[in-house]
Amino acid sequence: MKTLLVILLFVLSPALTGATPAPPGGEVVLTARDVVSALDIEQAIKVATDYGTRPGIVTLDARDGPFTYDHPDKSVNIFYSAVTLRSLNGATITNCDDGVFFDDMPLQDVAVRGIRFRCAGSGILAGWNRYEVRRVAIQDNTFDVQNFGIGIALGRDLAIVRNVVRGAGADAINLGRPTGARILGNDLHGNQGVLLDGSSGSQVTGNRIDARNQGVVLQEGCDDNTVDGNRISGVHSAGIVFAGDSSGNKVHGNRVTCASGAACLAVDASAAAREANRISGNKIAQ
């Protein structure tokens, strides 16, 4: 929680004085010289969206080098809908706690594109308690993190596309009760690659997954999802795991390479799971 005193001090801070002001289209461009903490990026979001009354874009321009936080607030909070946070010239945030944290409110039409995050915590976290986030695009980012790469609960119409997650001490992608999520063409490294819990109508396709334990996990209540064309390596347990009752899923054409010395499975599924789902063409690579 940010106190009123901190907010007032920030408003009076010179940190944003060099930032390009928002044009009528609702964009604020920041360089490293404009940012001393995540509060500066959050203030830019307020300006770009006219305090949540219009769509807004905040562009992190790397022309002055990487973005390094010098003050304690090191996580960008998203508190308005219709926000795009994007990179220009290959922007890197070098020392985030969590890269981007969605506040617990009904947010929609948010995009995070093309940024490299080097975080002590997670890359992106959203939707943990009451509210569903909708139409969120996470695209072409790189997450060097110690916890989750991307963790979203209560998400609808999520697009997680062509991201790189490295060093995840937990799951590279962890989605709780998503509906219609598209996880496409990502390069994922973590304890588990993708975990879906209570997912409906989601797609996990064409990802490269290097996971220490399991590649893709379908937890309880995962129905009518598609897991196909993924390349999974390094696993000790299995490439794809059915970890609870589920039905109507299509799991096809995934290639799995076990960790050295491990006797892993391409798909770990009970007889009941194989009856209730369509599982075919998944192989252990030789």
Q: At what angle do helices 4-12 and 38-48 cross, to 10 degrees?
A: 80
Q: For 42, list phi and psi in degrees, rounded to 5.
A: -65, -40
CA distance 180 to 182: 6
pLDDT (tens digit, 9 = 90+) per residue, 90-140?
Answer: 999 999 999 999 999 999 999 999 999 999 999 999 976 789 999 999 999
- Please state the rounded mean pLDDT for residues 194-204: 98
- Please state the rounded mean pLDDT for residues 252-277: 97
Per-residue pLDDT, 128: 67
Token digits of residue 48: 């770009």
For residue 19, pLDDT beyond 90: no
pTM summary value: 0.91
Rg, Å, the chain Cα set? 20
Per-residue pLDDT, 66: 98
CB atoms within 10 A of CB 100: 26
- Give one DSSP letter per residue of 6-69, joined into a string: HHHHHHH-GGGTTSBPP-TT-EEEE-GGG-SSHHHHHHHHHHHTTTTTS-EEEEEEGGG--B--
- Please state the rounded mean pLDDT for residues 272-284: 98
Pick one of 3.60.21.10, 3.40.190.150, 2.160.20.10, 2.130.10.10 as the CATH number of 25-284: 2.160.20.10
For residue 6, pLDDT beyond 50: no
Where in the chain are the domains? 25-284
Token digits of residue 80: 């308005």
Per-residue pLDDT, 150: 98
CA distance 218 to 108: 25
Lowest mean pLDDT segment, chosen from 17-31, 160-174, 242-256, 264-278: 17-31
Asked whether the beta carbons of 223 and 203 are under 8 A apart, the reply is: no
Grade residue 54 by pLDDT with cuts at 50, 70 and 90: very high
Mean pLDDT in the chain?
92
Per-residue pLDDT, 286: 73
